[in-house]
Amino acid sequence: MPDVWLLTTSFVTAMLSAGVSCLLAYRRGTAPDGSGTAAVQLRPLFSLSCGVLAGMAVQGILPAFPLVSALDRWLAIGLPMLMLADVAGCFLHQQLAVRWIKVVAAVAVAPVILYGSVHLQVMPDASAQSGSSSFGLLPLAAAGGVLLLLTLLGDSSAAKPDLQRTAAGIYSGLILLTVQVTAVVVMLGGWIGCGAAALPVTGAGTGLLLAGLLLRQHAAVTVVIRWASRSLGGIIVLGHYFGRLTVAQAALILAAAVIPLLVLRSGRGLQSRGLWVSAVLTLLFLSLVLLPAILEFQRRMAVLLS
Amino acid sequence: MLNSRLFPCNVLLLMTLISGTAFAAPAEEYVYDLVHSSVSFKARHLDISWIHGRFNEVDGKFSIDREDPSKSSFQLTIKADSVDTANAARDEHLRQPDYFDTKQFPTIEFRSTKVKAIDGGYEVTGDFTMHGVTRSITIELMGGKAIESRGVRRVGFSTELRLKRSDYKFDPKAIGPIGDEAIVIIDCEGMSQ
């Protein structure tokens, strides 16, 4: 069984670290909702990184070298690669170049995660009986597609500077909740390590979101939406291809995240019916994934892990 | 004249070569007989009892040189997905990345690098690969007696080895209730091809 106290401590540490570092980063006073220079845009990224690293340190999560497991490759190559693409975006002024860097980074994460696994090995095609072989193009395309979809949708949804503060908080909270529920479902399926590694991300995201809302810093909120979306993509791919996250569960989770992101992208505010409808749908989809996973866990796994 | 003088020498040389080839017994080649073999294991649970399991899909081949045992070789490939502890839920759990991570590491393999005859069997040193980590281990394969049964030549071996999961980079957090050390018991029969 996972150590609940350790996981809670990790979450709270990540939340406090990200929140406090965000408050400190903005202490000199930046105009509310100001975007401005690269230095200003980098502050929430720095705060998020602080929170994630602090949460990981509490759990003792450290990628093992050589990076033979998918989770290690995600943590040591995937996440830093996406972060570098984000940092590069802060310095480049050509939006097209920035977008392409992010597209390439998102797509490149798929082979990084699947590297060396049975999904990418050339296997004899038993059904064909002709000695032909099949390479894992479908897993590669599906994983790349999920990561790309959530990266681009997260970016375009977050780029709404006129978004009302409460609405931004609700949308960001929904995406963070989706990440957390996915992590719990992966844990309930039997892969405790993957779910546990997601906690620092959701903890840091929560801390950054609260600090961003408090300081009225839209940049901080957008970072939460962008990184919750990216993390969700990573956990879905890991959970499906290495854990026991089924296609149906993955589809429901994707729907739960995509709906609020699309409504957010449309730029509708707090008064919009879309916000509440998307919130209800997201919660509905998440409960459709979570409740059966809990029941299945209690039926089969709880006895084994006790 | 010259040819007739050389003839006895040539015959002698030829006979020597033929007899040399005939009397040096070739290495015996065997394949793993899944029906009459087992690769099982046991690990401590909460340090009070043992959990037993086995791998149902195993492949292997042995080459045994009775005259020069150092030329013998042993290979064993275990499909990690075939883990069976008589509980489907536990087996599913064991296949996940917290344990065997079978999507990343589908096989557990042993390839001998050095073989030496000992009393009652062979001392075999080789590369054991599990969970993406390869370590050199030495096992004592007891047995090696070959018999002919229904036209098939068979040889049998038994061994027991102790492995620490932490040596093979299993998630240390998952080691807790299940002991770090696992005892692997291999009883295998080989059939001549």
Mean pLDDT over residues A168-190, rounded? 92
Q: Does B17 reside within a domain?
A: no
Joined together, the tokens standing for residue B115 give 């073989």
What is the number of structural domains in chain B?
Answer: 1
Sign of CA dihedral B121, B127, B132, B133: positive
Q: Does B13 reside within a domain?
A: no
Q: Does B5 reside within a domain?
A: no
Q: How far from each other are the two terminal CA atoms of chain B, in whole angstroms?
A: 50
Q: Does B8 reside within a domain?
A: no
Residues of A in contact with B106 (CB under 8 A): 118, 121
- CB contact (8 A) between residue A304 and residue B97: no
Q: Which residue has the higher pLDDT, B11 or B172?
A: B172
Interface check B68 vs A, CB under 8 A: no
Q: Which residue has the higher pLDDT, A15 or B93?
A: A15
Quick: pLDDT tens for B37-54: 999 999 998 889 999 999
Confidence of residue A126 (pLDDT cuts 50, 70, 90): very low
Q: Which amino acid is at B10?
A: N
Q: What percent of chain B has pLDDT over 90?
A: 65
Interface test with B, best of A10, A238, A246, A304 (most B CBs within 10 A): A304
ipTM of predicted complex: 0.81
Query: Which pLDDT score is estimated for B2?
Result: 44
Q: Does B14 reside within a domain?
A: no
Range of the domain at B126: 25-192
Query: Which pLDDT score is estimated for B22?
Result: 47
In angstroms, what separates the C-alpha of B182 from chain A's closest C-alpha? 18
- CB contact (8 A) between residue B169 and residue A304: no
Using a CB–CB cut-off of 8 Å, the residues of A that contact B are 3, 64, 68-71, 116-119, 121, 189-194, 196, 241-244, 300-301, 304-305
Residues of B in contact with A300 (CB under 8 A): 88-89
- CB contact (8 A) between residue B101 and residue A301: no
In angstroms, what separates the C-alpha of B114 from chain A's closest C-alpha? 27
Mean pLDDT over residues A149-170, rounded? 79
| Closest CA in chain A for residue B93 | A190
Residues of A in contact with B98 (CB under 8 A): 190-193
Query: Which pLDDT score is estimated for B54?
Result: 96
Q: Does B69 reside within a domain?
A: yes
Q: Does B185 reside within a domain?
A: yes
Dist. CA A255–CA B1, nearest whole Å: 98
Mean pLDDT over residues A100-105, rounded? 92
Interface check B101 vs A, CB under 8 A: yes
Residues of B in contact with A191 (CB under 8 A): 96-98
| Closest CA in chain A for residue B106 | A118
Dist. CA A227–CA A85, nearest whole Å: 12
* Average of per-residue pLDDT values in chain B: 86
Dist. CA A223–CA A35, nearest whole Å: 12
Residues of A in contact with B169 (CB under 8 A): 64, 68
Query: Which pLDDT score is estimated for B177?
Result: 75
Dist. CA A148–CA A243, nearest whole Å: 21
Quick: pLDDT tens for A206-236: 999 999 888 888 888 889 999 999 999 999 9
- Residue A244 has its nearest CB partner, among B92, B106, B132, at B92
Quick: pLDDT tens for B66-86: 999 999 999 999 999 999 999
- CB contact (8 A) between residue A242 and residue B174: no
| Nearest of B152, B155, B178, B147 to residue B165 by alpha carbon | B178
Confidence of residue A146 (pLDDT cuts 50, 70, 90): very high
Q: Give the CATH number, domain containing residue B160.
A: 2.40.128.110
Residues of B in contact with A194 (CB under 8 A): 97
| Closest CA in chain B for residue A244 | B96
| Closest CA in chain A for residue B81 | A118
Which residue blocks in A159-217 are alpha helix, DSSP H? 165-188, 192-215
In angstroms, what separates the C-alpha of A261 from chain B's closest C-alpha? 31
Mean pLDDT over residues B136-147, rounded? 93
Burial class for B70, CB neighbours closer than 10 Å (0-12, 13-18, 19+): exposed
- CB contact (8 A) between residue B93 and residue A304: yes
Confidence of residue A129 (pLDDT cuts 50, 70, 90): very low
In angstroms, what separates the C-alpha of B106 from chain A's closest C-alpha? 7
How far CA B83 is from CA of A6, A68, A232, B54, in Å, comes to: 30, 21, 31, 6
Q: Does B96 reside within a domain?
A: yes
* Average of per-residue pLDDT values in chain A: 86
Q: How would you classify residue B16: left for phi > 0, otherwise alpha for psi between -120 and 50, otherwise beta?
A: alpha
Query: Which pLDDT score is estimated for B12?
Result: 47
Query: Which pLDDT score is estimated for A271?
Result: 60
Query: Which pLDDT score is estimated for A25?
Result: 86
Mean pLDDT over residues A285-291, rounded? 96
In angstroms, what separates the C-alpha of B75 from chain A's closest C-alpha? 21
Question: H or E element: which one contains B78?
Answer: strand B73-79
| Closest CA in chain B for residue A2 | B173
